[in-house]
Amino acid sequence: MVQFEHPILFYLFIIILGMIIMNYIISKKDKMRFKKLANNHNRNFLLNRIQFGKIKLRNGLFILGTCFMIISAVGPQIGTKLTELKREGVDLIIALDVSTSMDAVDVKPSRLEKAKYELSRLINSLKGDRIGLVVFAGTAHLHLPLTTDYSAARLFLQSITTELISTQGTDLSSALSLAINQVIEDTDQFKVIVLVSDGEDHHGNIMDLTKEATNMGVMIHTLGIGTSAGGPIPILDDDGNRVEFKKDHDGNIVTTKLNDVVLNEIAYTSGGKYIRVENQANAIIPLLEEIDEMEKREIKAHIFSQYENRYRYFLGLALLCFLVEFFIPTRSSKELAWEGRFHQ
């Protein structure tokens, strides 16, 4: 079976057809002109060293070589060949919790700011991988599609606040579902989701989604932001200054605690890592090491068939035509003696 990589270039043969027609017209005019030049005897003497047959041959070889060049440019692909495809690199989606509980100050300066700091370090460690951002609270939204522009990723990360989503809650299911949809389109790279949350509240079929992602080859790492003791949620004014702490209906200060049970289970089920991020330095070193190892590792190679380019053969034929055309002489070394009326 034959297919062509650039079939539109076949229109160049219109130019070749024009060259052939023009060459025919010019040769006809030359023939008529030569007939008027002199009688046959004198004409044969005057033009005896010019080999018109070889001139036609050279013109034919030039046109044929040009045809082969056009066929080569069209990119003929004939038959199939087996190719080994090695899958490398990482597609990484960060799903970041932006519910109001992430403003808690049990982790300094706040859970969200600590998460953004650690995730910035993760972005800085990437080497040619694609990264995207999903933010979620009661609903989930794509904040940044997959990209290799790490400057843009850091900029979008720093712009995240708990005011991005008005619907409150911590819907891990919608976040994970949206993240999965972002990474399953391309199958040639490792698929990684980093789920960042305090895990305070969850609903839906989170574990079913985790198993589905695992079956698709998606690995899920989880970062639990907060402490077991928990902390209050500050209420800030327009200038970012703390006014008071969030209170319940009875006027008691609300204390939000890290609920890492579900986060741990998600990571364990998908073969990922669960990391508790509190006030320690270098909290996500294990995650950075895991991503680094994935960058260096090749996924199992796949064998697939594809068309094999055969343009080289036509390019070689074109070169041969041009070389032969160049070395064909059009003048004879043998000269006729004059056999006219006057002679000794």
- Choose the weakest-confidence range: 99-108, 159-168, 189-198, 301-310: 301-310
Does position 343 have pLDDT exceeding 50, yes or no?
A: no
Neighbours of 80 (CB within 10 A): 12
Q: Round to whole Å and give the CA distance between 170 and 226.
A: 14
Amino acid at 152: A
pLDDT in tens, 71-87: 888 888 776 666 665 55
Give the span between the Cα atoms of 263 and 157, in whole angstroms. 22
Domain 89-297 in CATH 3.40.50.1820: no
Task: Say yes or no to pLDDT of 126 above 70.
Answer: yes
Residue 309 has pLDDT above 80, yes or no: no
- Is the pLDDT at 109 greater than 60, yes or no? yes
CATH 3.40.50.410 spans which residues of the chain?
Answer: 89-297
Q: How many residues are there in the chain?
A: 344
Query: How far are the Cα atoms of 27, 317, 341 from residue 42, in angstroms, in the given order?
Result: 20, 41, 11
Up-side HSE of residue 152: CA atoms within 13 Å toward CB? Answer: 11
Least confident range of 20-29, 80-89, 101-110, 254-263: 80-89
**Distance between CA atoms of 223 and 205, rounded to whole angstroms?**
19
Cβ proximity of 197 and 224 under 8 Å: yes
Q: Where are the alpha helices (DSSP H) in the chain?
A: 13-37, 40-46, 52-74, 111-125, 150-158, 172-183, 206-215, 261-270, 285-296, 311-327
pTM of the model: 0.60
Q: With 50 as the cut, is the pLDDT of residue 155 above it?
A: yes
